[in-house]
Amino acid sequence: MKTLGHFKTITKHKWKVMKLCFRIGLYKQGLLHDMSKYAWCEFSTGMKYYQGDKSPNSVERREKGYSLAWLHHKGRNKHHWEFWVDFTRTGLQPAKMPTRYVLEMFCDRIAASQTYQGKKYRDTFPLAYYENGKHSYIMHPQTRQFLEHLLHYLHDHGLDETIQYINSHPEWKKKS
């Protein structure tokens, strides 16, 4: 039962991200989003730690002190800010994320909130979730500023208007 539940949850989430990415013209990213979740390394963790209302990776992390599935996932998916953190002589340093990946991360945050909150979802939830964890994010200042701008816009104007706003800036989706 956990296997089917996990499969349904990740597929529902992937479908929601794909639809959001398509609405803003990120077709390839929408199609390829989170494909690594179906890899055995990630999927087996999902089966074992499936709860239905939170990421299995957080449950694995609580039990083991780390999550192999998350390490696998964030290393293969450029829409996660963690992908863009590098180790230098001065310690961990964030690189500026290309805007199209910040847009995908924005869609990912909305879809995760929609998936886990279901009918209770409100456009205020992605910002609230971000605010709760941002103190631990090692994010480039420009990346942080842009993501926060989009999350506040969503909070204040709703999803449809935010999609229109993003689409009024086609330069954000260019490859860089």
- pLDDT tens figures, 6-65: 999 999 999 999 999 999 999 999 999 999 999 999 999 999 999 887 889 999 999 999
Asked if residue 101 lies in contact with residue 78, where contact means CB atoms within 8 angstroms, the answer is: yes
- Token readout for 76 is 């293969």
Query: For residue 163, is pLDDT > 90?
Result: yes
What type of residue is 138? I
pLDDT tens for residues 95-129?
Answer: 999 999 999 999 999 999 999 999 999 999 999 99
Quickly state the pLDDT bin for 154 (edges 50, 70, 90): very high
Cα 128 to its chain centre, rounded Å, is 14
For residue 93, the SS3 value is strand
Given this model, what pLDDT does residue 93 score? 97
Residue 171: CB partners within 8 Å, gap ≥ 6?
A: none
Given this model, what pLDDT does residue 173 score? 78
Residue 52: how many other CB atoms lie within 10 Å: 12
Given this model, what pLDDT does residue 176 score? 56
The residue ranges of every structural domain in the chain are 77-173
Query: For residue 85, is pLDDT > 60?
Result: yes
Query: For residue 142, is pLDDT > 60?
Result: yes
Quickly state the pLDDT bin for 175 (edges 50, 70, 90): low
- Token readout for 47 is 């089966």
DSSP assignments along 8-21, one per residue: HHHHHHHHHHHHHH
